[in-house]
């Protein structure tokens, strides 16, 4: 109900993420509350922008409650990025929604800008299974939710969306909740001057190099601000001299050749930057991080991969990313 209140009232929902995760489950719950059966996108064989466009047409064209909208869906940022890169039909479908709630991973500034330029209303959400999915939208808590910063700027949440605890694990429940009933998350944050929450990253993703603490999410945001970077993941590797050294895995943005069909999703072998161009891109990326976050935050190692390894919808498998540097 709080989601509908924030977005513009009850409406129709497209389920485009797995229903066995809390984000997908919440789409079904919202559809039930709205009294309109959800349209379901089959993602058993992966997410395809053309299938998303077809499902959107079904959603908008079906008779019944809320036939005039509003229309909503929930995606992870990787899905949104693929829609924006897939061509006019996919972008038009994304723009048909009154709001697309983004969760599962951080929505970086560059992707948010590209969505806005394309007329897509993307809403960044922050939450987790313990909060019944996203409970902070675009930095501001939903009605009935409160946010504060605890020790070490750890994000703490309260409100009716919280779990009562972990089943058969009173030890975990006692560890996760403060004495006054707030959920103590594993994320670090800060507040903008307007009071909106900024999620800096998970506590265990804070990097410490040469005694300087660097948020991995901040380095990733700087890297993905480059036009030739689709996605990035930053991790810490053991280092005798620095304690930890910063390493980054980069998914380069493909260049679409004139002969390619943007909606096909296919990439020719030459779509990605050739090896001889990587040196220049390396330097540009390091300069971008240095300018935004300072010298200590600059990655000492960069690797390029076709896609980031995932664990769950939109969540990067950082252990697998670290393994990239073991080769």
Element (H, E) at 141: strand 140-141
Domain co-membership, 249 together with 288: yes
Confidence of residue 198 (pLDDT cuts 50, 70, 90): very high
Q: What is the mean pLDDT of residues 97-121?
A: 93
For residue range 51-102, what is the model confidence (pLDDT) as tens digits? 999 999 999 999 999 999 999 999 999 899 999 999 999 999 999 999 999 9
| Domain's final residue, options 85, 106, 137 | 137
Give backbone dihedrals phi and psi of 213, rounded to 5 degrees, phi first: -85, 130
Domain co-membership, 258 together with 285: yes
Nearest alpha-carbon partner for 118 in 138, 98, 88 = 88
Domain co-membership, 147 together with 45: no
Distance CA 178, CA 162 (A): 13
Q: What is the DSSP letter of 63?
A: -
Here the CATH number for the domain that contains residue 236 is 3.30.300.30
For residue range 276-293, what is the model confidence (pLDDT) as tens digits? 357 789 999 999 999 999
The confidence score (pLDDT) of residue 277 equals 54
For residue range 257-279, what is the model confidence (pLDDT) as tens digits? 433 343 334 443 334 444 435 77
Q: Which domain holds residue 184?
A: 142-201
Domain co-membership, 109 together with 77: yes
How do 145-149 and 140-141 pair as beta strands? Answer: unpaired
Domain co-membership, 257 together with 211: yes
Portion of the chain with pLDDT greater than 90, in percent: 74
pLDDT value at 301 more than 90: yes
The confidence score (pLDDT) of residue 265 equals 41
Domain co-membership, 155 together with 113: no
Say how many domains are in the chain: 3
What's the pTM?
A: 0.77
Say if residues 72 and 30 touch (Cβ distance below 8 Å): yes
Domain co-membership, 246 together with 193: no
Distance CA 185, CA 52 (A): 33
Q: What are the distances in angstroms from CA 159 to CA 2, 151, 185, 263?
A: 12, 20, 14, 43
Distance CA 139, CA 198 (A): 6
| Domain's final residue, options 83, 117, 137 | 137
| Domain's final residue, options 86, 116, 137 | 137
Domain co-membership, 84 together with 151: no
The confidence score (pLDDT) of residue 326 equals 85
Domain co-membership, 118 together with 30: yes
The confidence score (pLDDT) of residue 270 equals 38
**276 burial via Cβ count (<10 Å: 0-12, 13-18, 19+):** exposed
């Amino acid at each position: 109900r709080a989601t509908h209140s924030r977005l513009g009232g009850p409406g129709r929902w497209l389920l485009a993420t797995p229903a066995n995760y809390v984000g997908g489950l919440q789409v079904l719950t919202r559809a039930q509350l709205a009294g309109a059966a959800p349209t379901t996108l089959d993602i058993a064989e992966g997410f395809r922008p053309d299938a998303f466009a077809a499902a959107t047409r079904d959603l908008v064209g079906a008779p019944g409650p809320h036939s005039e909208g509003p229309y909503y869906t929930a995606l992870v940022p990787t899905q949104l990025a693929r829609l924006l890169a897939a061509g006019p039909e996919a972008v038009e479908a994304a723009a048909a929604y009154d709001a697309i709630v983004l969760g599962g991973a951080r929505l970086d500034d560059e992707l948010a800008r590209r969505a806005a330029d394309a007329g897509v209303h993307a809403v960044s959400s922050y939450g987790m299974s313990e909060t019944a999915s996203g409970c902070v939208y675009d930095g501001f808590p939903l009605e009935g939710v409160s946010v504060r910063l605890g020790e070490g700027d750890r994000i703490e949440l309260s409100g009716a969306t919280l779990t009562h605890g972990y089943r058969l694990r009173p030890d975990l429940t006692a560890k996760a909740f403060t004495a006054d009933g707030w959920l103590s998350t594993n994320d670090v944050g800060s507040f903008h001057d307007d009071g909106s929450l900024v999620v800096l990253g998970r506590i265990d993703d804070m990097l410490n190099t040469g005694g300087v603490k660097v948020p991995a999410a901040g380095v990733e945001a700087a890297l993905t601000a480059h036009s030739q970077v689709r996605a990035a993941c930053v991790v810490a590797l053991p280092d005798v001299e620095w304690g930890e050294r910063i390493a980054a895995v980069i998914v380069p943005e493909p260049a679409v050749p004139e002969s390619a069909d943007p909606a096909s999703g296919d990439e020719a072998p030459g779509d990605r930057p050739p090896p001889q161009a990587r040196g220049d891109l390396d330097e540009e990326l390091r300069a971008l991080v240095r300018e935004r976050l300072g010298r200590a935050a600059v990655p000492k190692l960069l690797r390029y991969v076709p896609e980031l390894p995932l664990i769950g919808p939109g969540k990067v498998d950082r252990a697998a990313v670290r393994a990239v540097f073991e080769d």
